[in-house]
Amino acid sequence: MADNDRPTKRAKSERGASPAETPEPKRKSTKQAKIPVLPWMRTPVSTGMGSNIKLQDVQGLAHSLSEALQTGAVQELFPAQAAVWRETAGGHSTAHDICIAAPTGSGKTLAYALPIINALSGGCNSMLRALVVLPSRDLAVQVFQVFKPLCEAAGVRAVLLAAQCSQALETAALLGSGNPATFSSECWQLSEEPAYHQDKTWPHSTEDVSGSLPQTRQALPAIVIATPGRLVAHLQSTPGFSMLGLRFLVVDEADRLLRQAFDDWLAIVMAQLEQSQKMCGHRAVKLIASATLTRDPAKVERFHLHSPRLVAADTSRQRLPKSLKEWKVPCSSGEAKPLALLAILQDLADQPTLIFTSSVEATHRLCTLLLATTENALRVAEFSSFIDARQRAANLAEFKSGQRYVLVASDGMARGMDVECSNVVNYDTPVHSTTYVHRAGRTARAGRFGQVFSLLRPEEMRHFKAMLRKIDNAFVKDYLIREERLKAIKPAFEIAFRSVRDEVIAQK
């Protein structure tokens, strides 16, 4: 309805209505009691913007981890990661529990993974030392993929408990070659050994005491990444699996986990932590993470936090480079997006271009399609966990050297990548303004010209504009692609799609 067609109060009066004839009902008060904010939440540890730290400047980072990060193309820590590293002293401080309020794309997983693995890399890890809980199997798998290469580099064993296989196979992975009937007593005997007591002083000791461990069986994994249901099942039924001696508890996607009961997993975990502290004499450091961290004291209280610190991403100072040119690319439907992308890549010719998708699966599907087109076969490289770490590193090196012009990646894979490009394409729209800034920040650095293209379906336009208003960016020009041009591209695309149809459909 146009503005001129909207009835005004004056127009209603002219039709014969009056306030006396149609009295407005008294409105009930909608004022709600404000939820009090905990004092420590009023003064968060601001991560700021632009405060990345080069790996060589990270104090206390184990050399093996530094090398593993660089192999995975991570050259620096994002602000949230740097802040958590400082607050935990690289995993060696028990002074505070940490709450991390950071949106997707800020490197939240690595923020807690790095100090944990760093702290465990040189000690006696015969028992469970770190537990990471996530609300879904997919999230648990994603987080495990972040931990795995770092744990392998640091010599720390990690196990995934997320119903990816039977509980019996998970139990075998937990207990190694040990006898389940005697494993509990073996763990207790280990806790009485001098090596274990030395490890109790872990904030101050980095001596490797692994040589004093029994060699008759594989030790309990130092790190377990689990969903709540599977975690409770193993705590209740797997002999010897307990949280005795736990040093780190991570609750990721905390708000979501609090909304879901999962057999009252949190009460079970908190009870075991309390028992562990009484028996072992030291408490576990808790790291609570979420993109939208609750500030409700009643909910926060359930975690029994000790002298907590809040690490919160500072979104108030988000700015884009002045030399950046932004475009939004209207796409009539989801089917039009790959056609629009092909047209953009034709326009950009051989300019280095980084394409962002919303997930690892979407990255692999899109790259498969692009590689199937003749003109892109030698230009496109994939950067996802569908390919091994060595191939990822090779693809990134070729992109940085100019041998490849197009790199397709997800936010999760691209976190911390030290790579510059001329153009960024948002094939999938970012959910948060911070993610948009991080993506766009790959180009237009040091005053150089750069462009960012956002492919948008009609239903995504409103969210996109609202997101940009949060960073004082109210106007982005349209990058229009003529319909005739899309029709000309479509036959070649359909041929390419048919050639890889089975593979693409299988990945969905």
- The domain that holds 412 is classified in CATH as 3.40.50.300
**Same domain membership, residue 445 and residue 299:** no
Over residues 169-175, the mean pLDDT reads: 82
Residue type, 504: V
Over residues 416-425, the mean pLDDT reads: 82
**Same domain membership, residue 349 and residue 274:** no
Across 182-196, 307-321, 344-358, least confident range: 182-196
**Same domain membership, residue 392 and residue 250:** no
Listed as own residue / partner, the contacts of 470-476 with beta carbons closer than 8 Å and 24 or more positions apart are 470/315, 470/318, 470/433, 471/318, 471/319, 471/320, 471/433, 471/436, 471/437, 473/320, 473/326, 476/326, 476/327, 476/328
Q: What angle do CA 462, 468, 472 make, to 5 degrees?
A: 135
Task: Answer yes or no: is 209 within a domain.
Answer: no
> At 352, is the pLDDT very low, low, confident or very high (cuts 50, 70, 90)?
very high
Which of 292, 312, 332 is the endpoint of a domain? 312
Task: Answer yes or no: is 307 within a domain.
Answer: yes
**Same domain membership, residue 92 and residue 132:** yes
* CB-based contact 293:252 (threshold 8 Å): no
Which one has a higher pLDDT value, 332 or 239?
Answer: 332
**Same domain membership, residue 225 and residue 94:** yes
**Same domain membership, residue 345 and residue 227:** no
**Same domain membership, residue 361 and residue 266:** no
Task: Answer yes or no: is 460 within a domain.
Answer: yes
* CB-based contact 109:146 (threshold 8 Å): yes
Residue 392's pLDDT is 85
Q: H-helix or E-strand containing 99?
A: strand 98-101
Q: For residue 157, what are its two tokens?
A: 């064993």
> At 2, is the pLDDT very low, low, confident or very high (cuts 50, 70, 90)?
very low
Residue 36's pLDDT is 62
Q: Which domain holds residue 224?
A: 39-201+218-312
Task: Answer yes or no: is 193 within a domain.
Answer: yes
**Same domain membership, residue 235 and residue 95:** yes
Percent of the chain surpassing pLDDT 70: 76
pTM of the shown model: 0.61
Which of 265, 292, 312 is the endpoint of a domain? 312
92 closest CA partner among 249, 209, 205: 205
Which of 255, 290, 312 is the endpoint of a domain? 312
Q: The tokens 């993109």 sit on which residue?
A: 291
> At 139, is the pLDDT very low, low, confident or very high (cuts 50, 70, 90)?
confident
Residue 314's pLDDT is 63
